[in-house]
C-alpha cells in the first residue's frame, strides 16, 4: 500500500495541498475562502465600508492572479496586468455573486490539479520570464496573497454583518 502521508508527498503536491487548504479548508489557520464566503449574500459582498475594498472586489482580486497563473500552467500566455486586478464585473444579484464564487472555486480546483502534476524540476524554472522569478516563488506568492486577502475578507465580513464601521 502506498504511503500518502504528507511526509512522502512531492514538493509540488505539498504546494498544491497548501493552495487547496486556503481555498477549501484544512490549513492550520482554520480559515478558508469557501467557508468565509458561503454565508455572504450578494448585498453583503458589495457593501462598501469606508475606503476598504468590498468582499466582491477582494474575491475577484484573489482569483484574478489564480486565473492568470492557471493560464500559464495550461501552457497559455501570461496576459494579466496588476492594474486590472480589482476590475470585477458588476454584481447586481445573487446569480452574479454565485457565478464569481463558482469561478473562484472551479479555478482553484484546476490550479490544484495542475500544480500537483508539475515535475519538481519545473519549480526552479522561470515563470514565463526571468523578471517574475521561478515557479516556486510564484506559486507560494499566490498562496501568501490569498491568505493575506482572506484575512481582509474575514474582517470586512464581520464589520458588514455587525453593521460596524471604522472612523
As a whole number, mean pLDDT of residues 69-89 equals 95
Cα-flanking dihedrals φ and ψ of residue 26, to 5°? 110, -5
pTM higher than the cut 0.75: yes
Q: Which residues contact 40 (CB under 8 A, 6 or more apart)?
A: 55, 97, 157, 160
Mapping DSSP to helix (H, G, I), strand (E, B) and coil, where does residue 134 land?
strand
Distance between CA 147 and CA 118 in Å, rounded?
Answer: 23
Q: What is the CATH number of domain 11-161?
A: 1.20.120.450
Domain ranges for the chain: 11-161
Q: Note the pLDDT of residue 166.
A: 58
pLDDT in tens, 80-103: 999 999 999 999 999 999 999 999
Cα–Cα distances (Å) from 78 to 5, 115, 122, 140, in that order, read: 34, 16, 17, 17
Say if residue 2's pLDDT is above 60: no
Amino acid at each position: 500500500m502506498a504511503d500518502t502521508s504528507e511526509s512522502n508527498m512531492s514538493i509540488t503536491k505539498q504546494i498544491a495541498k497548501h493552495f487547496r487548504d486556503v481555498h477549501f479548508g484544512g490549513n492550520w489557520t482554520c480559515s478558508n475562502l469557501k467557508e468565509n464566503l458561503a454565508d455572504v449574500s450578494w448585498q453583503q459582498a458589495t457593501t462598501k465600508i469606508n475606503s476598504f475594498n468590498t468582499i466582491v472586489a477582494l474575491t475577484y482580486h484573489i482569483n484574478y492572479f489564480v486565473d492568470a497563473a492557471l493560464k500559464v500552467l495550461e501552457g497559455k500566455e501570461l496576459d494579466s496586468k496588476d492594474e486590472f486586478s480589482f476590475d470585477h464585473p458588476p454584481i447586481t444579484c445573487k446569480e452574479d455573486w454565485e457565478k464569481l464564487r463558482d469561478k473562484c472555486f472551479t479555478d482553484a480546483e484546476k490550479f490544484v490539479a495542475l500544480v500537483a502534476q508539475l515535475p519538481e524540476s519545473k519549480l526552479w524554472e522561470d515563470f514565463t520570464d526571468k523578471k517574475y522569478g521561478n515557479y516556486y516563488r510564484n506559486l507560494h506568492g499566490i498562496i501568501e496573497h490569498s491568505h493575506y486577502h482572506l484575512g481582509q475578507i474575514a474582517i470586512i465580513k464581520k464589520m458588514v454583518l455587525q453593521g460596524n464601521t471604522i472612523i
